[in-house]
Structure 1
Amino acid sequence: MAQRTTLRDVAKEAGVSTGAVSLILNGRPNRLSAETRDAVLAAAQKLHYVPNQNARSLVTNRTTLIALIVPDIENMYFASLARCIEEECQKQGYSLLIANSNDSRDTESNLIQRLTSRDVDGLMFIPSNESYDYIDQMRTQLETVPCPVTFIDRMVAADWCDSVGFDNRQGGRLAAQCLLDAGHTRIGCITGDKHAKSSSSRWLGFAQRLSEAGVTLDPDLQVAGDYRVDSGYRGADQIIDGGATAVFCCNDLMALGFLNRLRERGLDCPHDMSVIGYDNILPRFGLQTEVTTIEQDVVLLAQRSWQMLYARICESHSQGNPWMESPRVQLLKPTLIDNHTVRHL
């Protein structure tokens, strides 16, 4: 096995002390000459020096590791968000550990314990749907976590922990307004997971805006989905046969499933049925299906989430958990993306 190049090896090659090498390679203030600096950097490059992160952590009290827990890594929205968060972390020299809770509170709880035991510098957390039934338990556990915590997307903890997410109720209202502007009054809806607050908020905003316009949703045109393609596909027949002229799917994956079933039946979007989705995630995966949708910009969400967590990491925490005691909350605004799958009547 090849031996790791040490600071002493670099110092010997450059003809300087190990102290000088440590100051230069760790970027600490010093009065060393430019010539010395250049010699050290050249020696480090020649010897393929790689910093020992464990040793550096003992000095800086940081591991430059961030943990991210997602509820479903197979969900394209969460997968894309995780990638964007990783890119943001890397800009500041941090590495990201990603773990999947499979929307299970028990798995999530174990992950929190295991990941924080690795002395990560921060925890980014998209809670499972099951967590909505165990808020007090989750809060108690996070009070013992020794690093800053930021909730992302699902705003379950916005009143007691740092959180960043989109205004789902406003997104639902945007979807309703789009269909109202197009003249639709007989409208179907495929909701997300019944346990997810994001889903209920989208539906509530959608229903409220329609009600304000004097449009009543027919219960027979409301189908429970689960944010997966199959649920959009399975719910399509009920809505099509119910005589709806338009449907609001609470995410793009269900909209994709709905469109697949629509085509199987020989029907056209938007001529026979107008469809509006939520997330604007399909283009990021190169899918050719275009659908009018409510965009939740994953790049923006990743940037704001990382900025919030990184600010907490850089602060001095002599005592307490300020991310829970004085939580910061950012509610981002969704936008309508018109891809011409809503027909004007």
Structure 2
Amino acid sequence: MITLKELAKRCGVSTATVSNAINGKSNISEATKVRIMQMIKETGYKPNFMARNLRINSKRTIGLIIEELTAFSSAPLIEGIMSFLEEQKYETILYNMRVYSNPNWVSDESFVQYCVSNAASELIAKQVSGIIHVAEHSRKIKCYNKKLIVPVVICYAYPDERKMPHVSIDDETSTSKMAEYILSKGHTKIAMICGSKDNLHAQKRYKSFKRVLSEHNVEFDEEFCVFTNWSKEDGKIAAAKILKKNVTAVFCHNDFLAGGVYDYLYENNIQPGKDLLVTGFDNHLISSYLHPGITTMKLPLLEIGQKSAELMIEMLKSDSQCSCNGVEFPCELIIR
């Protein structure tokens, strides 16, 4: 196996620079770090953490790759994972990718792949037994291949076309609950403010909502539907487009969009709840702060985290892939 000194020579840098790159230090250039990590990948170099008194007990350690620690979903997902792993006497190492540092990270697949590859290499070098990837939002994760020497579970997202253990929310069932609730209130002229068209959440919620209305013989007018970004400001702009069409209810794909609808209503002397039913999704704090509170769907984030850890332990105990490839949890309807 190649040594640290030999690796440094091939990269044209000092052994200290290689060590800094492996340990994520910021005192080296990005270009140098990329070159070193690529050489590590090509040579299969593994740091000797035992010799440096930094070796971690690989039989009881799981690495968590967190796309963005500040995302609202991350804390409960991580809590669910860590609480289950602690019960099983496993330790965790967290690697925060900090994807929000790149404003275009959602569309920059090469940036995400680089971050994931870098994180996985560092965790494997620390001899973790497995990796749980905690996504910032549900989408298809394309960054993992079969060459990894440890099992991987995707938490709060989906794998690409390959079969891979993953846990996420059940958008279809959850949206059906919301549609049934709105219909139960007697509404038939219903608008929908969706997230971006390329987002899995938006796609599934849009299709599921239309399906339920069709099952109840309620026609859905596409003029009552707007795809936009996920912010409060976008919700307000969308409200101005569709609420002039005399709709009586609006289903928003997240609570920030619903908050934007409230802003539009307040500015136009329209009373939410009385003149227009506004519903959201996610059960974000904003949904309970507004008056009247927003009826929404509570994400089962703690449960998703716990199940992700459970699948990982199942694979480690059986020394094979888990018995199920994917698990989805429905959300809870919160009526306010």
Matched, 1:113 2:117: yes
Deviations 1:108-164 (A, max 9, x none): 2112211111114333335588975xx7xx27x422222221122233548610011
Deviates more, 1:145-154 or 1:285-294: 285-294
- CA distance in 1 between counterparts of 2:61 and 2:240 reads 51
Counterparts in 2 of 1:331 and 1:189: CA distance versus 1, 3 Å: same
Matched, 1:222 2:262: no
Equivalent AA in structure 2 for residue 328 of structure 1: N
Deviations 1:247-279 (A, max 9, x none): 111112222222222222222110111011112
- CA distance in 2 between counterparts of 1:79 and 1:235 reads 30
Equivalent AA in structure 2 for residue 114 of structure 1: N
Counterparts in 2 of 1:235 and 1:167: CA distance versus 1, 3 Å: same
Deviates more, 1:289-298 or 1:73-82: 73-82
Q: What is the match of residue 265 of structure 2?
A: 262
Which structure 1 segments of 5+ residues have no match? 1-51, 340-345
1:89/1:96 contact within 8 Å kept = no
**Structure-to-structure mapping, 1:41-80, within 5 angstroms:** 55=53, 57=55, 60-62=57-59, 64-70=61-67, 75-78=71-74, 80=76
Equivalent AA in structure 1 for residue 73 of structure 2: Y
> Match for 2:332 among 331, 335, 339?
335
Matched, 1:249 2:252: yes
**CA positional deviation for 1:212:** 1.0
Q: Secondary structure at the match of 1:76?
A: coil
Equivalent AA in structure 2 for residue 121 of structure 1: S
**CA positional deviation for 1:333:** 2.1
Which structure 2 segments of 5+ residues have no match? 1-49, 100-104
Counterparts in 2 of 1:295 and 1:131: CA distance versus 1, 3 Å: closer
Deviations 1:222-258 (A, max 9, x none): 1112233222222111122121111111112222222
Deviations 1:285-337 (A, max 9, x none): 984563111222211111112221233244435xxxx25xx653212222211
Equivalent AA in structure 1 for residue 150 of structure 2: C
Matched, 1:303 2:306: yes
- CA distance in 1 between counterparts of 2:138 and 2:281 reads 22
**CA positional deviation for 1:196:** 1.7
Equivalent AA in structure 2 for residue 116 of structure 1: A
**CA positional deviation for 1:188:** 0.7
TM-score, scaled to structure 2: 0.71
1:164/1:329 contact within 8 Å kept = yes
Q: What is the match of residue 176 of structure 2?
A: 173
2:73/2:136 contact within 8 Å kept = no
Matched, 1:200 2:203: yes
Counterparts in 2 of 1:81 and 1:227: CA distance versus 1, 3 Å: farther
**CA positional deviation for 1:100:** 3.5
Matched, 1:125 2:141: no
**CA positional deviation for 1:77:** 3.2
Q: Secondary structure at the match of 2:311?
A: helix
Q: What is the match of residue 3 of structure 2?
A: none
TM-score, scaled to structure 1: 0.69
- CA distance in 2 between counterparts of 1:81 and 1:241 reads 39
- CA distance in 2 between counterparts of 1:129 and 1:188 reads 24
* Alignment size in residue pairs: 274
1:86/1:95 contact within 8 Å kept = no
> Match for 2:151 among 132, 136, 148?
148
- CA distance in 2 between counterparts of 1:301 and 1:204 reads 23
**CA positional deviation for 1:61:** 3.0
Q: What is the match of residue 27 of structure 2?
A: none
Q: What is the match of residue 26 of structure 1?
A: none
2:62/2:132 contact within 8 Å kept = no
Q: What is the match of residue 277 of structure 1?
A: 280
- CA distance in 1 between counterparts of 2:62 and 2:51 reads 10
Rg (Cα) greater in structure: 1
- CA distance in 2 between counterparts of 1:107 and 1:330 reads 28
- CA distance in 1 between counterparts of 2:295 and 2:288 reads 16
2:139/2:158 contact within 8 Å kept = no
**CA positional deviation for 1:69:** 3.6
1:105/1:128 contact within 8 Å kept = no
**CA positional deviation for 1:90:** 5.3
